[in-house]
DNA sequence: AAGTATATATACCGGTCGGTATACTCACGG
DNA sequence: CCGTGAGTATACCGACCGGTATATATACTT
C-alpha cells in the first residue's frame, strides 16, 4: 500500500527543477551536472531539491521518465496523423527524423545506460522499458497493417531504429535515419509480399 | 613536425596503467573512475600516471584507441577465416555475436560518446572513426562479393550492426544480433538478386 | 487562530576530484 | 662515475561532490 507513492502533481519549484535538470542532464551528462548547479540554474535552494525529490538518483529517474513520456506522446501524435495502416509502420522513421532534428545528443536512454554502470540503478529499467515499448509499438503497427507471419520483423525494426540514432550521433552519419527507413521499407515489403524471392 | 609525437613503446608501468584503466573505464564508466583508483589498482603512484600520459583526458583517449584497435584486429581475424566472399559479409555479425558474448557493457565508443558531452573532446573522434571504419569495411566486403549497385547497403549494415548492440544491452533483447543478421541476409539477398520484387 | 506545506537563505559535513610538488631509489649506458 | 629515465612515497592544492542542519518567511486550509 505504502510502497507506491501517489503521483502528486509537481509544485512550481519542482517543475522548474525538473525542467532545468532535464536540459542539463541531457546536454552535459548526468555525472558532470551537480545538484548545486541545478539549484542555481533553477533559482532554487538545494534543500528544495531534496525536499521534492529525495536524492539525485531519484531526480535522475524522474528526468528519464519525463523524457520517455515526451517521446511516447510525440510518437503517438505523429502516427495518428497517418491514415494508411501500412504507411504508418514506416512513419515511425519519419517521426524519428523529426525528433532527431530537435535534439543533438542522441537518445537519452542510451546515454543514461552508458553512464549508470550499476545494474541496480532504477534508471536502467526506464531505458529498458522504452525499448520494450518501442518494439511492442512496431508489433502492434505490423498487426494493424495485416503483416503477420514475420515474427522477427518487429525486432528488426527496433534494431534499425536504435541503430539509426547511434549512427547519426556517434558515427556522424547524417542520413542514417533515411538509410534505416529504406531498409525498413524493404523488409516490410518482403514480409507483406512473400514468395517473390526464392 | 613536433605536433605528432613518436609512438614510443609503453613502459611496463604504463602498460599496467592502460590495462587497469581500460577495465575500469569500460566497466564503471569514465567519470566515475578517478585517477587515484587507477593508480591504486595498477600498483602505481599518480605521478607515474601523469608522467606517462599527461592528463586523464589523454589516458581516456589512449584507452579508446587501444580498445578500437583490439576490435578491428578481432574482426579482421574472424573474417579471414571465411573463404566465401558472399558469406563473409554476414560473418561480421557472427564475429559481433562472439564479441558481445565476451563483453557485458556494450560498445565502449557509444558509451564514451554518451559520457564525453564536450564536442571538442578528442575521444569523440576515436568513436566516430570506428564507425567510419566499420562502414568502410562493409563497403569493401560488398565490393569483394560483387554486390554493387546498392549504394545504401553498407550504411544499412552499419545501422543494423550498431542497433544490434544497443538492443542487446540497453533493450535487454538477447537475440538482437541474430535478428540483425537475419535482416542483413534479407537485404543482401535482395541486392544480390535484383528484380525478384516489383 | 493554528497548522501544514512550500519555499527561502546560509552554513556546514566528510569525501573525492584532477593535478602538482618535493624528495628519494634504482638501473642502465656513455 | 655520472647523468638520465623510470619509478616510489607522501603530502598538498582549490574545487566540487551529494547530502544535512537550522532558522525564517509566506500562503493556503481548516
Cell numbers at A178, concatenated: 533515411
B25-55 residue pLDDT tens: 999 999 999 999 999 999 999 999 999 999 9
Residue with cell 543533438: A104
User: How far apart are the C-alpha atoms of A82 and A86, rounded to whole Å?
Assistant: 9
Residue pairs spanning A and B at CB distance below 8 A: 172
Nearest to B127 among A152, A170, A173 (CB): A170
Task: Give me the long-range contacts of B150-153 (CB less than 8 A, separation at least 24).
Answer: B150/B191, B152/A179, B152/A182, B152/A183, B153/B187, B153/B188, B153/B191
User: How far apart are the C-alpha atoms of A185 and A156, rounded to whole Å?
Assistant: 12
- CA closest to C1' of D16 belongs to A34
A155 reaches B (C-beta below 8 A): yes
- Residue B196, pLDDT score: 56
A4-55 residue pLDDT tens: 445 678 888 999 999 999 999 999 999 999 999 999 999 999 999 999 999 9
DSSP labels, chain A: --SS---PPPPHHHHHHHHHHHHHHHHH-TTT--HHHHHHHHT--HHHHHHHHSSHHHHHHHHHHHHHHHHHHHHHHHHHT---HHHHHHHHHHHHHHHHHH-SS--HHHHHHHH---TT-HHHHHHHHHHHHHHHHHHHHHHHTT--S-TTHHHHHHHHHHHHHHHHHTS--TTHHHHHHHHHHHHHHHHHSTTS--
- Residue B7, pLDDT score: 65
Nearest to A162 among B105, B117, B163 (CB): B163
Cell numbers at A136, concatenated: 511492442
Helix/strand/coil for B163 = helix
Does B154 have pLDDT greater than 70? yes
B4: confidence class by pLDDT, cuts 50, 70, 90: very low
Cell numbers at A43, concatenated: 533559482
User: How far apart are the C-alpha atoms of A134 and A89, rounded to whole Å?
Assistant: 12
B11/chain A closest Cα distance in angstroms: 30
- Residue B6, pLDDT score: 52
More confident residue, B167 or A8: B167
- Best CA proximity match to B153, nearest among B196, B106, B195, B186: B186
B169 reaches A (C-beta below 8 A): yes
If you ran DSSP here, which 8-state letter would residue B174 be given?
Answer: T
Distance spanning both ends of chain B, measured CA to CA: 58
User: How far apart are the C-alpha atoms of A70 and A74, rounded to whole Å?
Assistant: 6
Residue B9 Cβ < 7 Å to strand D: no
Q: Give B48 CA → D10 C1' in Å.
A: 14
Bases along strand C below 7 A from a protein CB:
6-11, 16-23
Share of chain B above pLDDT 70, in %: 94
User: How far apart are the C-alpha atoms of A172 and A191, rounded to whole Å?
Assistant: 31
Which of the residues in chain A have pLDDT under 50? 1-5, 197-198
Q: List Cα–Cα distances, B128 to A51, A62, B18, B139, in angstroms.
A: 42, 31, 21, 17
Cell numbers at B38, concatenated: 587507477
> Taking a C-beta distance cutoff of 8 angstroms, is the pair A158, A135 a contact?
yes
Mean pLDDT for all residues in chain B: 94
Nearest to A128 among B115, B171, B196 (CB): B171
A140 reaches B (C-beta below 8 A): no
| Mean pLDDT, rounded, for B62-82 | 98
Q: Give B57 CA → C15 C1' in Å.
A: 23
Give B197's contacts in chain A (Cβ within 8 Å). Answer: 189-190, 193, 196-197
Searching chain A, which residue's CA lies closest to the CA of residue B107? A114
B160: confidence class by pLDDT, cuts 50, 70, 90: very high
B188/chain A closest Cα distance in angstroms: 11
B175-197 residue pLDDT tens: 999 999 999 999 999 999 876 54
A172/chain B closest Cα distance in angstroms: 7
User: How far apart are the C-alpha atoms of A157 and B186, rounded to whole Å?
Assistant: 13
| CB–CB contact B106 A114 (8 Å) | yes
Determine the nucleotide nearest to A11 by Cα–C1' distance: C6
- Residue B44, pLDDT score: 97
More confident residue, A93 or B3: A93
Amino acid at each position: 500500500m505504502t510502497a507506491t507513492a501517489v503521483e502528486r502533481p509537481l509544485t512550481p519549484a519542482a517543475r522548474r527543477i525538473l525542467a532545468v535538470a532535464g536540459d542539463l542532464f541531457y546536454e552535459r551528462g548526468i555525472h558532470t551536472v551537480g545538484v548545486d548547479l541545478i539549484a542555481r540554474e533553477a533559482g532554487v535552494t538545494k534543500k528544495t531539491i531534496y525536499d521534492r525529490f529525495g536524492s539525485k538518483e531519484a531526480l535522475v529517474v524522474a528526468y528519464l521518465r519525463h523524457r520517455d513520456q515526451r517521446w511516447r506522446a510525440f510518437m503517438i501524435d505523429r502516427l495518428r496523423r497517418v491514415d494508411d495502416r501500412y504507411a504508418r509502420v514506416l512513419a515511425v522513421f519519419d517521426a524519428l527524423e523529426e525528433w532527431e532534428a530537435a535534439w543533438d545528443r542522441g537518445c537519452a536512454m542510451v546515454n543514461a545506460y552508458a553512464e549508470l554502470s550499476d545494474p541496480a540503478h532504477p534508471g536502467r529499467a526506464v531505458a529498458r522499458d522504452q525499448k520494450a515499448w518501442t518494439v511492442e509499438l512496431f508489433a502492434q503497427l505490423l498487426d494493424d497493417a495485416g503483416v503477420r507471419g514475420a515474427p522477427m520483423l518487429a525486432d528488426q525494426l527496433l534494431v534499425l531504429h536504435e541503430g539509426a540514432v547511434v549512427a547519426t550521433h556517434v558515427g556522424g552519419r547524417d542520413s542514417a535515419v533515411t538509410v534505416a527507413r529504406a531498409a525498413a521499407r524493404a523488409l516490410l515489403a518482403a514480409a507483406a509480399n512473400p514468395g517473390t524471392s526464392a
